[in-house]
Homo-oligomer: A and B are copies of this chain.
């Protein structure tokens, strides 16, 4: 019989835990035999001592084995983003990649703190359901090509319980625990291939590229050890993605993109990820061929059509694709002004993310209720030139006072330089080690 105290002390003193020992801790915890305080002490010891690759793999396996595991008789592929500001990429990427022939069984999350969540965005659409049964999920993936749902109690319950404890015990920011949490869901959902969009910058929880590379390495080696083919993409989160941040407004922007609107950063990132996914899933042999098909999926309107079928399959009002005014509309639109003249040197994306809590676009805690009609639109990115008092964006809100708070925070989140600042690239470095931008050691 293993002793939880001895295992805590073993990790505390930096020793390696075996597969058997990690299984014991995870299983005892979900069976309510290991009390919260022992798991919390263990998680804090992991925060300080880390875990080696073997331990991370065993922990991820223990998470997966705590619940069901789905299997699809198709070439499945998924994308995971580590979370950023204005990241509505899944909404565009999934219908495009599905239109190109791959299948995407996507378990997604809700927003917390400064980052938004794909499920919250989708719930801006009237009637849209994210809690499908296993059968509904399977049918949607097989008929529409993709489905985006929330984590059920049957899927990786260990991660659900341990994540909730990490959130209240100050143990969220641990790379081994982050790795196990991400991959257990992405493997249990049935994705055979996975592209991870690892965000680095002021609006991400990882702010320097070394940490990004380390997390990328852990994610790739763990995922592949567990039989999933994986590609890591490091992307820039020094400016919010696209122009809109919120929930309904991000669905609006995604639909505009699928209708052919050019949004440079979103376009570059979405297509880059789509190519990686389609090569991994073996739908195409060459990047050129993949790109051609991706472009065709958008220009033909087929990707948007598929997005509408997806909305309908999950109970939502698909007319929203033709009439964006069916999305929740805020009462007021307030201007956001520039405070200085010059080049945008940096944008405090984290601050902008938190500013959205004032107008209920973001969650303070798990019980917060989201207002799907609110949000912001902002145009300037790092490297753009702006003039004092220029209108650089707008706030969509239902309370003018709170909206003004948000506008002021956004204004003060822009840091302006008198000297020219170069524009930043969106793709930073992929797992093959290609540096495409090295302006990132902050």
- Which residues of chain A from 17 to 48 have any CB-CB distance to chain B below 8 Å in the complex? 35-45, 47-48
Q: Which residues of B contact A43 (CB under 8 A)?
A: 41
For the complex, is A366 an interface residue (Cβ under 8 Å from B)? no
Interface string of A167-179 (1 = CB under 8 A from B): 0111100000000
Most chain B CB neighbours (cut-off 10 Å) among A36, A40, A41, A165: A41
CB pair B8 A170 closer than 8 Å? yes
For the complex, is A1 an interface residue (Cβ under 8 Å from B)? no
For the complex, is A9 an interface residue (Cβ under 8 Å from B)? yes
Which residue on B lies nearest to A49, using beta carbons? B48
CB pair B168 A44 closer than 8 Å? no
Query: With A and B bound together, what is the CA distance between A168 and B40 in angstroms?
Result: 12
Query: With A and B bound together, what is the CA distance between A47 and B38 in angstroms?
Result: 15
Instruction: Choose among B35, B41, B169, B170 the residue that contacts A171 (Cβ–Cβ < 8 A).
Output: B41
For the complex, is A12 an interface residue (Cβ under 8 Å from B)? yes
Query: With A and B bound together, what is the CA distance between A53 and B212 in angstroms?
Result: 36
The interface on chain A, measured as residues whose beta carbon lies within 8 A of the other chain's beta carbons, has a size of: 22
For the complex, is A5 an interface residue (Cβ under 8 Å from B)? yes
Query: With A and B bound together, what is the CA distance between A35 and B5 in angstroms?
Result: 19
CB pair B37 A165 closer than 8 Å? yes
Which residue on B lies nearest to A36, using beta carbons? B37
CB pair A12 B168 closer than 8 Å? no
CB pair A169 B36 closer than 8 Å? no
Taking the closest CB of chain B, its distance from the CB of A12, in whole angstroms, is: 6
Taking the closest CB of chain B, its distance from the CB of A357, in whole angstroms, is: 15
CB pair A170 B9 closer than 8 Å? yes
With A36-B35, A36-B36, A48-B48 already in contact, the answer to whether A8 and B41 are too (CB < 8 A) is no
Q: Which residues of B contact A45 (CB under 8 A)?
A: 44, 48, 170
Query: With A and B bound together, what is the CA distance between A170 and B42 in angstroms?
Result: 9
Which residue on B lies nearest to A45, using beta carbons? B44
With A37-B39, A37-B165, A41-B44 given, can you name 16 additional A-B contacts, CB distance below 8 Å? A5-B168, A5-B170, A8-B170, A9-B170, A12-B47, A36-B37, A37-B40, A38-B40, A38-B170, A40-B41, A40-B169, A41-B43, A41-B169, A41-B170, A44-B45, A44-B48
Can you pick out 17 interface pairs between chain A and chain B where the beta carbons lie within 8 Å of each other? A5-B168, A9-B170, A12-B47, A36-B36, A37-B39, A37-B168, A38-B168, A40-B40, A40-B169, A41-B41, A41-B43, A41-B44, A41-B171, A44-B48, A45-B48, A45-B170, A48-B48
